[in-house]
Amino acid sequence: AQSVTQPDIHITVSEGASLELRCNYSYGATPYLFWYVQSPGQGLQLLLKYFSGDTLVQGIKGFEAEFKRSQSSFNLRKPSVHWSDAAEYFCAVGAPSGTYKYIFGTGTRLKVLA
Amino acid sequence: DTGVSQNPRHKITKRGQNVTFRCDPISEHNRLYWYRQTLGQGPEFLTYFQNEAQLEKSRLLSDRFSAERPKGSFSTLEIQRTEQGDSAMYLCASSRRGRGSSYEQYFGPGTRLTVT
């Protein structure tokens, strides 16, 4: 079955520290991969995406993610976290054909300590 | 590009009542999606439109739910005889037709439904 796993429900980091959020997926073929961020009461904002090519992708707000086919992973990283990064982060896989619908993980809530 | 808009942003209703939500996608986007997000969970796919045609419905979309997209522009999601389990955030997203960079979905702010 197709699925996305975000093993960390909550993560707390100090401001200025590095961050890595994990995402593993199960999919028959190589899907399209996305990271979205959701602030309280808000919709989802796209941070970055992977379709093909270079496995290290850069996104907005200083985020990057690396696609590792052998590990079925697409982990999100940021070298130095800002207090404004506190939010919920969702990894999603998209069907590469047909409806292109997304399957989301359950999310990781990030707390940033001043 | 004014983004995806959804109305209302919040809806409180009593169990058994009908509710209708509206989504206005980005104007040149022909694909439109509805997702449902419950507390502590990621969004779950409900249904998909390409232009005015509803091409896929999730098993989550019971008979009490109906969605339309007349003329391939805005979409409505109606829930009849609401139940407390329908309480959730309902998200709408749209995307362009095509592959690659035109594939990503843009999300609206959502409609939060509370059934009392």
pLDDT at position B17 is 98
**Contact, A107 vs A88, CB < 8 A?**
yes
The 3-state DSSP class for residue A73 equals strand
**pLDDT digits over B22-38, tens only?**
999 999 899 999 999 99
pLDDT score at B34: 97
Give the pLDDT confidence of A59-112 residue by residue, as tens digits.
999 999 999 999 999 999 999 999 999 999 999 998 877 778 899 999 999 999
Q: Over 80: is that where the pLDDT of B101 sits?
A: no
Beta carbons of A80 and A86 less than 8 angstroms apart:
no
Residue B102 clears pLDDT 60, i.e. is over it: no
Sequence length of chain B is 116
Residues B89-96 have a mean pLDDT of: 94
- For residue B1, the model assigns a pLDDT of 55
**pLDDT > 60? residue B53:** yes
User: A-side interface with B, Cβ within 8 Å?
Assistant: 4, 32, 34, 36, 41-46, 49, 51, 90, 92, 94, 98-107
What SS3 state is found at B72? helix
**Closest B-chain CA to A107:** B42
Q: Do B107 and A99 touch (CB under 8 A)?
A: no
Sequence-distant (6+) residues with CB within 8 A of A5 are A23, A24, A25, A26, A105
A97's CB contacts (< 8 A; 6+ apart) are none
- Judging contacts by C-beta atoms under 8 Å, the chain A residues touching residue B55 are 99
Name every chain A residue with its beta carbon within 8 A of the beta carbon of B103.
32, 51, 94, 100
pLDDT band per the 50, 70, 90 thresholds, residue B99: low
Please say whether the beta carbons of A40 and A109 come within 8 A: no
Query: Which residue in chain A is spatially nearest to B47 when comparing CA positions?
Result: A101
Does B40 reach chain A within 8 Å, measured CB to CB?
A: yes
> In this predicted structure, what is the pLDDT of residue B104?
86
